[in-house]
Amino acid sequence: MRDLNKANELFQQLHDEDILNDDLELQTIMKNYIYGDVYQHGTLDLRLRELILIVVNTTNHTLTSLKEHVNAAIKAEVSPIQIKEVIYQCTPYIGLGKVQEALEVVNLIFKKHNISTKPQATVNEKTRFEKGFEVQSAAFGKDHIQANHDQASQELKHIQKYLSEYCFGDFYTREGLDLKTRELMTMVTLATLGGCENQLRGHVGANITVGNSRELLIETITQCQPYIGFPRTLNAITIINEVTK
């Protein structure tokens, strides 16, 4: 049986007030499930749990919930740079608009707490393709990435170029998060989006390649479940099982 006192203590530790004050029945169900079941399952660090949920809520464009988890992350002593970087990492997958609005939420909270961050870019115009190709190859294999470039039709070569220099060059090479964490957050983004099973399959494989275990991937998807629902959770688990069989 779950410990509801422990669930309530954790909720109060992370949040200043109840989120659904006008719907206390749903508030109670979700508080007990999220903090009594999901947060108590597995061995994920509390800081990593909050980073995962910042990515989920950025991807879902659920800004009220995002605000709650950014505040919770600060209380859990998550690095402000990490908070921003996991949102930056979403950009190639969910597009600019959602990320801009998520960053507006974060920046307002940071101003309230007098938090500032420094730029994290490590590439320039001359190096972004080379460095992007390098980190892309580390996750997916150099031969595979080179083949994607070589075998792309002339009308689609620019897409492969964008993947290497923009998706990986401009984002994956940034400081603040290591490659294992960036790949994990990309998997979270794709699982949350739904309808991206081919890409999710590829990034589950990339997670294994860079050193994230099957157990970590299952625990991560479990943390996402209350916010993405069971259909997308089960789809993600099916792909994890398929790739790690």
DSSP SS3 for 239: helix
In this structure, what token pair is assigned to residue 75? 């209380």
Taking 70 as the threshold, does the pLDDT of residue 61 lie above it? yes
C-alpha 235/C-alpha 45 separation (Å) is: 24
The answer to whether the beta carbons of residues 59 and 98 sit under 8 Å apart is yes
pLDDT of residue 19: 62
Q: What is the 3-state secondary structure (H, E, C) of 131-164?
A: HHHHHHHHHHCHHHHHHHHHHCCHHHHHHHHHHH
pLDDT in tens, 159-214: 999 999 999 999 999 999 999 999 999 999 999 999 999 999 999 999 999 999 99
From residue 147, give the alpha-carbon distance in Å to each of 124, 152, 197, 210, 243: 25, 8, 22, 20, 21
DSSP string for 80-106: HHHHHHHHHHHHHHH-HHHHHHHHHHH
What do you get for the CA distance between the two ends of the chain, in Å? Answer: 32
Query: Given this model, what pLDDT does residue 6 score?
Result: 93
Over pLDDT 90: what percentage of the chain? Answer: 95
Given pLDDT bands bounded at 50, 70 and 90, which one contains residue 3? very high
Angle 231-105-24 (CA atoms, 0-180°, nearest 5)? 55
| Sign of the dihedral through C-alpha 176, 178, 182, 188 | negative
- Binning pLDDT at 50, 70 and 90, where does residue 1 land? confident
- Checking if the pLDDT of 127 tops 70, the result is yes
Burial environment of residue 21 by CB neighbours within 10 A (0 to 12, 13 to 18, 19 or more): exposed
**DSSP label at 167?**
I
